[in-house]
Amino acid sequence: MGGVRAPDPLLPITGRNGSVRRGKNGARHMKIASFNINGIKARGPALVRWLESAQPDLAVLQEIKSTDDTFPRALIEDLGYNLETHGQKGFNGVAIVSKLPLEDVTRGLPGDDSDPQARWIEATVSTEQGALRVVGLYLPNGNPVELEGDGTPVAGGKYAYKLAWMARMEARLRELLALEMPLAVMGDYNIIPQTEDAARPDAWRDDALFRLPSRKAYRRILNLGFTEAFRARTQGGGHYSFWDYQAGAFERNDGIRIDHILLNAYAADLLQDCRIDSDVRAGEKPSDHVPIWAELAL
């Protein structure tokens, strides 16, 4: 299982201006987040603005669209963050940025040594309260959906790859759950869980993000014992994390919710809040996604 271990307790997490982030009861809180930045080269300034404003203690990034050696590390490190990347030239690529040291870092989703796509990264962070295992993921889109005459995905097609990737993900999460420590699985899932998670669900019926096999695979993962952090705190429609750049989608709130934070039981017990930073989409040269974050009493 990659030799994952819980590191020794480290210094307390600090918030803006070096102060320790605390909840109403005085307990320390860790702010964790996920953000599909849609290219570090194009969106670096937008990422920096958000990091400076939101001050997450840890964030996973998707679609960095950069190799490890060409990622502009100073952009992140100059803000006081540690950085680990799993990059790929031109597309995909994931990263973790953290105010705390990142330990036991692993790259790549196990289960298929022939898969070259950079979509999965793991690390452990610790506070005085305990350790947290973090997964940052960029789940395959799966379009176009190519099906055989009997409705099964065409072997070698993008939709077949998506479903196979989710099966590998489920297997890896079973291993991580066996560690019996707080676990947060965050990223761009490319899954619309329910009709209320799309402004126009009928437009997505045959899309890989919303097809029934995709949602069933997502439900199987939830049924391992995960809590979807946002829905644990907020119900109802109108809450989205992605808006297309075309046709004024953001202004009309014609979006979908596909970026998620899943918490195992140990982490869910620590959940204090979870929100979507939708206002980031209105910034200069924004990503088509916005950050989602959660606070844990850790």
Does residue 190 lie in a domain region?
yes
279 in catalytic set: no
Q: Which pLDDT belongs to residue 225?
A: 99
138 in catalytic set: yes
Per-residue CA distances from 147 to 44, 164, 192, 205 (Å): 38, 15, 20, 15
> Average pLDDT, stretch 200-206?
98
- Can you say which residues are annotated as belonging to the binding site for Mg(2+)? 36, 63, 188, 190, 288-289
Q: What is the mean pLDDT of the chain?
A: 93
- Whether residue 1 is predicted with pLDDT greater than 60 in this model: the reply is no
Residue 247 near residue 165, CB atoms below 8 Å? no
Residue 209 near residue 159, CB atoms below 8 Å? no
For residue 105, count other CB atoms closer than 10 A to its CB.
16
* Six token digits for residue 54: 């939101």
pLDDT band, very low/low/confident/very high, at 15 (cuts 50, 70, 90): very low
Catalytic residue among 188, 197, 207, 259: 188
Q: Phi/psi of residue 151, each to 5°?
A: 90, -5
Does residue 10 lie in a domain region?
no
Count of domains observed in the chain: 1
Does residue 212 lie in a domain region?
yes
Catalytic residue among 57, 86, 138, 197: 138
Residue 37 near residue 63, CB atoms below 8 Å? yes
pLDDT band, very low/low/confident/very high, at 23 (cuts 50, 70, 90): low
Does residue 3 lie in a domain region?
no
Does residue 266 lie in a domain region?
yes
Q: Which residues pair with 188 in a beta bridge?
A: 138, 259
Q: Which pLDDT belongs to residue 3?
A: 55
- Whether residue 269 is predicted with pLDDT greater than 60 in this model: the reply is yes
- Whether residue 22 is predicted with pLDDT greater than 90 in this model: the reply is no
Domain CATH code at residue 76: 3.60.10.10
24-52 pLDDT, tens digit each: 555 689 999 999 999 999 999 999 999 99
Per-residue CA distances from 227 to 149, 171, 188 (Å): 36, 18, 16
Reduced to 3 states, what is the DSSP secondary structure of residue 156? coil
- CA triple 31-34-38, angle to 5 deg: 145
Q: Which pLDDT belongs to residue 12?
A: 41
- Whether residue 198 is predicted with pLDDT greater than 80 in this model: the reply is yes
- CA triple 272-274-278, angle to 5 deg: 150
- Can you say which residues are annotated as belonging to the binding site? 36, 63, 188, 190, 288-289
Q: Which pLDDT belongs to residue 34?
A: 99
Contacts of 42 (CB under 8 A, 6+ apart): 285
207 in catalytic set: no
| Domain span at 208 | 19-296
* Six token digits for residue 111: 């289960």
pLDDT band, very low/low/confident/very high, at 71 (cuts 50, 70, 90): very high
Q: Which pLDDT belongs to residue 26?
A: 59
Does residue 37 lie in a domain region?
yes
